[in-house]
Amino acid sequence: MLSTMMISIARSTRISKVVLGSAAGLALSVSLAPPVFSDLLLFTAAVLIVFYYLLLRLLLRCVLLRYQTTGGYSEPGVRQAGKDEWMLYGFSLISAVVIVFSSVYAPSGQVSFSVLLSSSLFLLWLAALFMFCRYCCLCLKPSLYSLLRLPLAIALIILAGLEILGYRNLIDHITLALGYSFVVFSFALLFYDSIEFLMQLFRSGKERLAQRFSMTPLESKRKFKTHKILGIFLKIYIVLGALVLVLHQWGVSARDNDRLWNFFFQGFSMGGFAISPARVTLALLLFVVGWPAIEYFKQFLNRGWLTSAGLSKNDRETFLTISGYLGYAAIILIILAVAGVKLTGLTVIIGALSVGIGFGLQNVVNNFISGLILMFEKPIKKGDWILVGTTEGYVKKISIRSTIVQTFDRADVIVPNSELISSQVINMMFDDQRGRLRVSVGVAYGSDTNLVMQLLLDAANGHDQVITDGSTPEPRVIFQAFGDSSLNFDLLVHLKDIDMKMRVRNDLHLIIDKAFKENGVEIPFPQRDIHIKDGLEKVTGDQP
């Protein structure tokens, strides 16, 4: 028999033993019914029990799981959720029993008992609905529950009064609409909470992507910020979709629904342009998905194919920048096409841009063209030590419109690209990393100049960053001048990495100072001779 099969399923599956155990017990009792109805009613009751239980359990556990993991739900709330779950399960079991047995065992003369039982069941269902709405509101928005508590209680009291007064047709309509609204609200809540969960997953995935591609938190926040926009739009459309479904069940005609759907898909005209909300939504979806996808693709190319292809760092930067802008342009064209913007409309936009360029966008276009020149001609590259005007530092980023130079004080200076093309720029690292360093030092008059020059050469040759292999001029010392207080010498050396200039200068100063002290060479301080003219006695008199 089917009841025996249900018992065996309850023993062998991981689905809740309480659910299938209750279904098996119900099957044994229904086995006493007429043979024609036994299997059909048993199947109906089992399906109702399992469906009610699993649906309510899924909704309750989904909301509860989120607030347990985020720390927004307390232990008493967890216990209350368990009580609510068992109460709703009891309601589902009673519903299935009443549906089955009222249709089989209620004689024609006892219809009043069936009506009374259904009325009691309806009141129980209203209580369960109120309890579940209270639970969800307290979990998600406590302030929302305080606003909806009184209207919801009044509505439930009115419905209970109508049921007792016998307005069966009205109650049937309201019951069906309310139950449908409850189901729609439950699934909308489930989808809404699922979006929140996906946003949390994306945030954690964004942190892993930032670590994988060696991004700073600021860079990852700037490049992967469109997921918030996507989440907002998805939530809005979930609410709108649920509202449309609920309004249809509460009496909105099919014609009105058709008008609403036609408005959503076909749109309206404004100024000669056809605007379709569905197309605009799809275009926004492409934007929030495609924009970070391009950033991810660029980082993937930089760490994968471009590195294995043997391209230099500067070539990779140029390729990534150009490919990124091409990808953005392609995304924009696709978005415009999906949104329904025709090419004839683009000609109007291009014409307006040409007028704007003629009046006030010359500098923007000039910087744009200059940026392309910088990327292809490469007079400066990312990481170069440059001096432009009064700004000295390292090139941090070259974009289409401007270049960011980071000074030695870690201040970012934004320099327009046109200024880098039109003005004089000193690049310390144009061809290679090598560079020359000048160290000036003065010694006291009377010092052995040959010894001083030898000590300076020894200090230079002993440093690991000074080139001494003959590929560049050897370190040399120049007796520069007879100064006011010292004999001035210049030590000229070529470095393997000009980026180490500050450190090498510091090291050479320490080495030279130590060598001079060991060999008795004095580094003088400024001296002045004061000559007192004759006749001072006439001014001071006979005073001592």
pLDDT score of 118: 52
Kindly state whether residue 239 falls inside one of the protein's structural domains: no
Statement to judge: residues 65 and 169 lie in one domain: yes
Contacts 24+ apart (CB under 8 A), 362-365: 363/416, 363/418, 364/401
Q: What is the CATH number of the domain that holds 384?
A: 2.30.30.60
pLDDT score of 515: 92
Statement to judge: residues 58 and 149 lie in one domain: yes
Query: Mean pLDDT for each consecutive 10-residue tract of the chain (544 residues)?
Result: 37 40 42 43 51 53 49 48 54 53 48 47 54 56 60 68 66 68 69 68 59 53 59 74 74 68 69 70 77 75 66 70 80 78 65 64 77 81 86 86 88 88 85 85 91 92 87 89 89 88 91 92 79 59 53
**378 three-state secondary structure:** coil
How far apart (Å, rounded) are the C-alpha atoms in residues 245 and 233? Answer: 18
Kindly state whether residue 269 falls inside one of the protein's structural domains: no
Half-sphere exposure of residue 441: CA atoms within 13 angstroms, side-chain side: 27
Q: What is the CATH number of the domain that holds 502?
A: 3.30.70.100
When divided into structural domains, the chain yields a total of 3
How far apart (Å, rounded) are the C-alpha atoms in residues 155 and 427? Answer: 78
φ/ψ of 470, rounded to 5, equals: 90, -5
How far apart (Å, rounded) are the C-alpha atoms in residues 247 and 254? Answer: 10
Statement to judge: residues 443 and 403 lie in one domain: no
* DSSP 8-state symbol, 109: G
Statement to judge: residues 500 and 390 lie in one domain: no
User: Domain of 400?
Assistant: 377-427
Statement to judge: residues 129 and 65 lie in one domain: yes
Q: Of the residues 389, 404, 427, which one is the last residue of a structural domain?
A: 427
How far apart (Å, rounded) are the C-alpha atoms in residues 187 and 308? Answer: 49
Kindly state whether residue 41 falls inside one of the protein's structural domains: yes
Statement to judge: residues 498 and 384 lie in one domain: no
How far apart (Å, rounded) are the C-alpha atoms in residues 451 and 74? Answer: 82
Kindly state whether residue 268 falls inside one of the protein's structural domains: no
pLDDT score of 506: 93
Statement to judge: residues 512 and 480 lie in one domain: yes
Statement to judge: residues 44 and 168 lie in one domain: yes
Kindly state whether residue 458 falls inside one of the protein's structural domains: yes
How far apart (Å, rounded) are the C-alpha atoms in residues 435 and 412? Answer: 24
Kindly state whether residue 541 falls inside one of the protein's structural domains: no
How far apart (Å, rounded) are the C-alpha atoms in residues 244 and 497? Answer: 68
Residue pair 485/447 in contact by the 8 Å Cβ criterion: no
Q: What is the pTM of this model?
A: 0.46
Statement to judge: residues 399 and 457 lie in one domain: no
Kindly state whether residue 390 falls inside one of the protein's structural domains: yes
Q: Of the residues 183, 209, 233, which one is the last residue of a structural domain?
A: 183
State the DSSP H helix or E strand holding residue 269, giving kind and residue range, or none if neither.
strand 268-270
